[in-house]
């Protein structure tokens, strides 16, 4: 495990524990309903399609930053899924939905308690935007470590021009700048994708190459849906 320069993120753990706690107030409850709709009706079918395209049955997969795990209900019977999250509240929700049939790990993506070259694939949905570029580089290095040489990673990463980003920024502006309600619907999004070239640059610095990239109507312009693979040739260099 890579234990060097791992940031202490007590505030972030607190933010995510609060996020996965039962929503309080009408605004947060409404946001929770909309978020559940996105997970079940938009994110899940897209993830199912990508998993089926890129992974054979019985693949060993890591859901990094698993949250509730509602999106991976459809394929956990066909694959060996490990669920990782640093929020104890998120893992409680995950256990309640999956009946503990998957391997559940509480921990950080900066230092994953898994042996080298253990996974055929990793997937994470709305995770990377919550970290700085320097932190992302550390995270990708850890993902490199636990992936097999032919391993792939599915990344759902909201872009700066994504519809959900624009709408949520507008909602936060109204709630907090105009109405002064001091409501935070989700933890901060620090790094948003600016373009495919921007994504390529981030991944190539950590010896990943993009093999699939899409952004469009299938999820109402919410995520850049990216599949990357370990670039073994770059590692050899």
CATH code of residue 33: 3.40.50.150
Number of domains comprising the chain: 1
DSSP symbol at 133: H
| 149 class by beta-carbon count within 10 Å (0-12 exposed, 13-18 middle, 19+ buried) | exposed
Q: Is 5 inside any structural domain?
A: no
Q: Is 136 inside any structural domain?
A: yes
Q: Is 224 inside any structural domain?
A: yes
Q: What predicted TM-score, i.e. pTM, was given to this entire model?
A: 0.87
Listed ranges 20-29, 74-83, 87-96, 191-200; the one with the highest mean pLDDT: 191-200
The two structure tokens encoding residue 43: 């994110």
The two structure tokens encoding residue 132: 């700085």
Q: Is 40 inside any structural domain?
A: yes
* pLDDT score for 168: 82
pLDDT in tens, 26-44: 777 877 788 888 889 999 9
* pLDDT score for 4: 43
- Roughly what angle, to the nearest 10 degrees, separates helices 133-146 and 196-204? 60
pLDDT in tens, 128-159: 999 999 999 999 999 999 999 999 999 999 99
Q: Could you tell me the pLDDT band of residue 237, with boundaries at 50, 70 and 90?
A: low
Which among 180, 153, 159, 136 is positioned nearest to 54, based on CA atoms?
Answer: 153
Q: Which helix (H) or strand (E) holds 51?
A: helix 44-54
Q: Which domain holds residue 217?
A: 10-236
Q: Is 1 inside any structural domain?
A: no
- Residue 194 predicted with pLDDT over 90: yes
Which among 170, 67, 199, 173 is positioned nearest to 123, based on CA atoms?
Answer: 67
Q: Is 2 inside any structural domain?
A: no
- Residue 160 predicted with pLDDT over 80: yes
Number of H helices, E strands in the chain: 8, 7
pLDDT in tens, 102-117: 789 999 999 999 999 9
* pLDDT score for 131: 94
Q: Is 198 inside any structural domain?
A: yes
Give pairs for 231-235: CB < 8 Å, separation 24+: 231/204, 231/207, 232/149, 234/204, 234/207, 234/209, 235/207
Q: Is 182 inside any structural domain?
A: yes
State the average pLDDT for the chain: 88
């Amino acid at each position: 495990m890579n234990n060097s320069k791992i940031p202490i993120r007590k505030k972030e753990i607190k933010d995510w524990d609060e996020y996965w706690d039962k929503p309080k107030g009408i605004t947060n409850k409404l946001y929770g309903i909309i978020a559940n709709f996105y997970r079940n009706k938009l994110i899940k079918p897209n993830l199912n399609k990508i998993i089926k395209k890129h992974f054979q049955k019985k693949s060993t997969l890591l859901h990094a930053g698993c949250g509730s795990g509602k999106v991976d209900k459809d394929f956990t019977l066909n694959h060996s899924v490990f669920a990782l999250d640093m929020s104890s509240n998120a893992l409680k929700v995950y256990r309640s939905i999956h009946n503990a049939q998957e391997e559940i790990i509480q921990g950080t993506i900066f230092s994953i308690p898994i042996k080298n070259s253990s996974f055929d694939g990793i997937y994470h949905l709305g995770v990377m935007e919550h970290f700085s570029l320097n932190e992302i580089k550390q995270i990708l290095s850890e993902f490199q470590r636990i992936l097999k040489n032919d391993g792939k990673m599915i990344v759902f990463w909201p872009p700066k021009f994504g519809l959900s980003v624009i709408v949520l920024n507008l909602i936060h502006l109204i709630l907090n700048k105009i109405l002064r309600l001091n409501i935070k619907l989700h933890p901060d999004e620090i790094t948003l994708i600016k373009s495919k070239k921007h994504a390529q640059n981030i991944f190539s610095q950590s010896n990943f190459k993009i093999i699939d990239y899409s952004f469009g109507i299938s999820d109402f312009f919410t995520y850049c849906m990216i599949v990357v693979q370990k670039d073994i040739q770059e590692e050899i260099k």
